[in-house]
Amino acid sequence: MKIMRKDEFLKLPEGTIYAKGREWYFGNLNIKGESLDHDWYTLDVCWIEAFDDEEQFSRLEDMIKNGASYPMQESACRDGMFEEDALFLIFERDDLLKLQDYIQQALEKSMKK
């Protein structure tokens, strides 16, 4: 893994896997979309798909209260935070291969259910 500042991050290609944060905390796993002038599109894989905020929170309540299941978010949105001092933890090739291995192991275990 490596850490970048925002100006470097915006030059990275779409599809880059990263976590945004600050010194020394990083948030959810995201997939970078298109870069804009001072912003970019992002897909947060640690969130659920929904039409709007009201539906998201309704679904989250349903999940906790009733054990419902909803799919992972598939719609990219703008980051929109304009945090010039943000840091980005970038997953490099070897990290992605290891993540792929973890996902493969999880898939194999879920097939046994």
The number of CA neighbours under 13 Å toward the Cβ of 36 is: 11
With 90 as the cut, is the pLDDT of residue 112 above it?
A: no
pLDDT in tens, 33-71: 999 989 999 999 999 999 999 999 999 999 999 999 999
Burial class (CB in 10 A: 0-12, 13-18, 19+), 37: exposed
3-state secondary structure of 3: strand
Total-model pTM: 0.88
User: Tell me, what's the pLDDT at 111?
Assistant: 85
CB-based contact 45:38 (threshold 8 Å)? no
pLDDT in tens, 69-111: 999 999 899 999 999 999 999 999 999 999 999 999 999 999 8
Question: Which tokens is 37 given?
Answer: 């002038």
